[in-house]
């Protein structure tokens, strides 16, 4: 039998950041009747339990406005977990897991509700041996953050008892621009210390995103080539066949740039472009990432027109199904100028990446879903095999999802008497190599927060630097007297033709996914 002690001693289990085992605690979810709790958070906690990694003493308290009892909340969560758990549900395990879940009905603005919460948490600590450790999860609109934090502080719930800890997890969007992000940071840091603040970017919890650092720094063969001398360019793509679903109002005020690029895609870019950290502590890793964001070449309005393409989907068909245009989506303005697609040409202005373009694209209603990073190496010298006809370059593809893995395109001689060269793939698939499905991003992130490891969470300076860069583009789109066009693309296509032209101009093309 594996004990907690065995696991902690086994370096293979320590992961990217030498994470200690999670500690007993109570997770309090604000906004517990929202989608995230049902689809992600509870299934994630259940799967952690199913893997045997959940601390024996752990309680979950859902805090929300709607009328529910512990029992009705548990029943709803059971139904959701059956649907969304990656490992299905085991009746016996669920039977004991559900007993850890409680519901606390209160308005977010009602101080008395927080006083009752404090009493309830104390009672749960005694009954369930959770040792006064608390993890507050803010799964609410950013406009609610301030009020909730203020009330938590008013009843002293931000202050841990001697020998205990309190931490806060904050869901995105973390601001809508630099000033709002700064305000949010100061609101949160007024109540919780920065080291106790965990800003979720769920892309960092994805297995292959974590593997980027391992690929780069645990293998000797890649790092010597990982720079402007050998890399021609990098492409990062996040494609989704989905539209905006029921999130019209949020998406209208956000758009693809703020929704995905400011956070998820820039985080991936940082992992690809960062220097090796001196160690794997949260701050060493984040120190290196923030240097990348700081090195992003800022765009003037005229650069935006040249380097950024924004698009919006029109009617079309995705996977053979007719779908409406973005402007016809539920609660979206018929004249909306919100982008559902964006393609950017970026530069990281430092020694390693001098003159290497990073092409980043993200879009909704594309033909298929998938997130990948493709490192395109420079071609071999054209003196032997590729003298007459061009032999393609090597491309290292990191597939974040689906079918997580890494492949390397190399050139090989086709069997036969003549020398005919064709590209072939060396391919690593997580599923086949390790024989089990990767955990969901939220599983890893919740475990890390319970263990006090913030490596895979965004620090305030990273978030603010990313906004500083993104704001310049937003300003060029919205404030400039002659803003660049919003290009249209039919749903089910790979985005506007202008995005292809962005690369063609440089003699390059987007990778076909
Ligand atoms: C969210 C965005 O952060 O990420 C959504 O708000 C997007 O618009 C989602 O669909 C994509 O996440 P994933 O894990 O499905 O790639």
Strands of 370-377's sheet in order across: 420-429, 405-414, 395-401, 370-377, 231-239, 357-363, 341-347, 308-314, 486-490
CB 377 within 8 A of CB 232: yes
**Which DSSP state fits 346?**
E
Determine if the peptide bond prior to 402 is cis (ω within 30°). yes
CB 150 within 8 A of CB 158: no
Q: What is the pLDDT of residues 150-175, one digit of tens each?
A: 999 999 999 999 999 999 999 988 99
CA distance 409 to 422: 10
pLDDT of residue 1: 35
CA distance 353 to 37: 40
* 58-64 vs 316-318, strand pairing mode: unpaired
364 alpha carbon to ligand 1 midpoint, in Å?
Answer: 10
CA distance 96 to 101: 10
Nearest partner of 82 among 69, 93, 71, judged by Cα: 93
CA distance 510 to 281: 36
Q: Which CATH architecture has domain 15-171?
A: 3-Layer(aba) Sandwich (3.40)
CA-nearest residue for atom 10, ligand 1, is: 240
Give me the catalytic one of 104, 202, 233, 264: 264
Report CA-CA distances (Å) from 488 to 71, 257, 310, 336, 415: 49, 16, 9, 12, 46
Fold agreement (15-171, 204-382+461-493): no
Phi, psi of 298 (to 5 degrees): -65, 150
CA-nearest residue for atom 7, ligand 1, is: 260
CA distance 461 to 467: 10
CA distance 241 to 172: 22
In the three-class reduction of DSSP (H, G, I as helix; E, B as strand; rest coil), residue 57 is classed as coil
In the chain, where the domains are located? 15-171, 204-382+461-493
Ligand 1-lining residues (CB < 6 angstroms): 172, 202, 240, 259-260, 371
- Note if 264 is an active site residue: yes
* 357-363 vs 395-401, strand pairing mode: unpaired
CA-nearest residue for atom 8, ligand 1, is: 259
- Taking residue 359's Cβ as centre, other Cβ atoms within 10 Å add up to 24
Q: What is the pTM of this model?
A: 0.92
CATH, domain 204-382+461-493, list 3.30.750.80, 3.40.50.1370, 3.40.50.300, 3.30.360.10? 3.30.360.10
Q: What is the pLDDT of residues 17-74, one digit of tens each?
A: 456 678 899 999 999 999 999 999 999 999 999 998 998 899 999 999 999 999 999 9
242 alpha carbon to ligand 1 midpoint, in Å?
Answer: 10
List beta partners, residue 408: 396, 426
Q: Which atom of ligand 1 is nearest to the CA of 242?
A: 10
pLDDT of residue 388: 62
pLDDT tens track of the chain, all 513 residues?
Answer: 333 333 333 333 344 445 667 889 999 999 999 999 999 999 999 999 999 899 889 999 999 999 999 999 999 999 999 999 998 999 999 999 999 999 999 999 999 999 999 999 999 999 998 899 999 999 998 889 999 999 999 999 999 999 999 999 999 889 999 999 999 999 999 999 999 999 999 999 998 888 999 999 999 999 999 999 999 999 999 999 999 988 899 999 999 999 999 999 999 999 999 999 999 999 999 999 999 999 999 999 989 999 999 999 999 999 999 999 999 999 999 999 999 999 999 999 999 999 999 999 999 999 999 999 999 999 988 788 766 667 789 999 999 999 899 999 999 988 988 888 889 999 998 888 888 778 899 999 999 999 999 999 999 999 999 999 999 999 999 876 788 899 999 999 999 999 999 999 999 999 998
Q: For 132, left (φ over 0), alpha (ψ -120 to 50), or beta?
A: left
Nearest partner of 439 among 20, 53, 21, judged by Cα: 53
pLDDT of residue 21: 76
Q: Which atom of ligand 1 is nearest to the CA of 369?
A: 16
């Amino acid at each position: 039998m594996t004990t907690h002690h065995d696991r902690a001693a086994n370096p293979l289990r320590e992961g990217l950041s030498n994470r200690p085992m999670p500690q007993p605690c109570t997770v309090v979810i604000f906004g517990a009747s929202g989608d995230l709790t049902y689809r992600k958070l509870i299934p994630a906690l259940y799967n952690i339990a199913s893997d045997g990694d959940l601390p024996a003493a752990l309680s979950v308290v859902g805090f929300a406005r709607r009328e529910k009892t512990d029992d009705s909340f548990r029943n709803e969560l059971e139904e959701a977990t059956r649907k969304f758990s990656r490992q299905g549900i085991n009746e016996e395990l669920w039977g004991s897991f559900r007993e850890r879940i409680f519901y606390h009905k209160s308005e977010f603005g009602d101080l008395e509700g927080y006083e009752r919460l404090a009493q309830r948490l104390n009672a749960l600590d005694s009954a369930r041996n959770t040792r006064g450790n608390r993890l507050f999860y803010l799964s609410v609109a950013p406009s609610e953050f301030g009020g909730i934090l203020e009330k938590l502080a008013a009843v002293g719930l931000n202050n841990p008892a001697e020998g205990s800890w309190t931490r806060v997890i904050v869901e995105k969007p973390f601001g809508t621009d630099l000033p709002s992000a700064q305000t949010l940071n100061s609101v949160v840091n007024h109540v919780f210390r920065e080291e106790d603040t965990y800003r979720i970017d769920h892309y960092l919890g994805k297995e292959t995103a974590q593997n980027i650092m391992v690929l780069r720094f645990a293998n000797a063969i890649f790092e010597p080539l990982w720079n402007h001398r050998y890399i021609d360019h990098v492409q990062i793509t996040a494609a989704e066949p989905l539209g905006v679903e029921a999130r019209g109002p949020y998406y209208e005020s956000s758009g693809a740039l703020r929704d995905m690029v400011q956070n998820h895609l820039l985080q991936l870019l940082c992992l690809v472009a960062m220097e090796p950290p001196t160690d794997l502590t949260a701050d060493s890793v984040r120190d290196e990432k923030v240097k990348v964001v700081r090195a992003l070449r800022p765009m003037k309005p005229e650069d935006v027109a040249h380097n950024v393409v924004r698009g919006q989907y029109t009617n079309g068909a995705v996977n053979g199904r007719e779908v409406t245009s973005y402007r016809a989506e539920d609660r979206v303005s018929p004249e909306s100028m919100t982008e559902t697609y964006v393609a950017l040409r970026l530069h990281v202005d430092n020694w390693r990446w001098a003159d290497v373009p990073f092409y980043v694209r993200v879009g909704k209603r594309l033909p298929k879903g998938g997130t990948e990073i493709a490192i395109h190496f420079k071609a071999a010298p054209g003196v032997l095999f590729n003298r007459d006809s061009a032999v393609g370059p090597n491309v290292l593809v990191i597939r974040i999802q689906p079918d997580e893995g890494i492949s390397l395109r190399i050139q090989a001689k086709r069997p036969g008497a003549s020398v005919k060269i064709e590209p072939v793939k060396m391919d690593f698939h997580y599923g086949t190599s390790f024989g089990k499905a990767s955990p969901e991003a939220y599983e890893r992130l919740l475990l890390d927060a319970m263990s006090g490891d913030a490596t895979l969470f965004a620090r305030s300076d990273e978030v603010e630097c990313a906004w500083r860069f993104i704001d310049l583009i937003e300003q060029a789109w919205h404030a400039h007297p002659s803003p660049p066009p919003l290009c249209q693309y039919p749903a089910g296509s790979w985005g506007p033709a202008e995005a292809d032209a962005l690369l063609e101009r440089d003699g390059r093309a987007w990778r076909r996914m």
